[in-house]
Amino acid sequence: MEGNEISPVMEKLDDGNCTHVSGTGGQNVVRDNYLHDVPSFRVNAAIRCDDDQHGTIITGNLIWRTCGEGLINKGNNTFVNNVVTDMRVCGEAQRTAGRGFMVMPYGRWQGSHY
């Protein structure tokens, strides 16, 4: 997935993301996308690797003015040169944990400093 502009999302459904990589095997790339202006309290993250997703490269993405987390990693994936800025807290229903730039429940973040 490369070179996309994603905005807005999750206006009606719950428990979703701007980009969700889950159960797809390795060698996936999410590169140079612009994810922005997502005011929905329903969104979990801008970019999410979920359910033991491994071998995905997330690089060069700009995440700006979104609710939820910027990046979620559940697996061993590589995150390089992503910018997450101006995150929003959106409404009473916003999850308590959903106010961060990066969430790492388990797995390694190869190539990242935090």
Per-residue pLDDT of 6-22, as tens digits, reads 998 988 888 889 999 99
Q: What percent of the chain has pLDDT over 70?
A: 83
Q: What is the pLDDT of residue 93?
A: 46
Where along the chain do its domains lie? Answer: 5-105
Residue 114 pLDDT > 60, yes or no? no
Non-local (6+) Cβ contacts of 31 within 8 A are 1, 2, 3, 57, 58, 59, 60, 61
- How far apart are alpha carbons 10 and 27 in whole angstroms? 27
pTM metric for this prediction: 0.85
Mind listing the pLDDT tens digit for each residue in 69-108? 899 999 999 999 999 998 876 755 445 444 568 887 776 6
Q: Which amino acid is at 38?
A: V
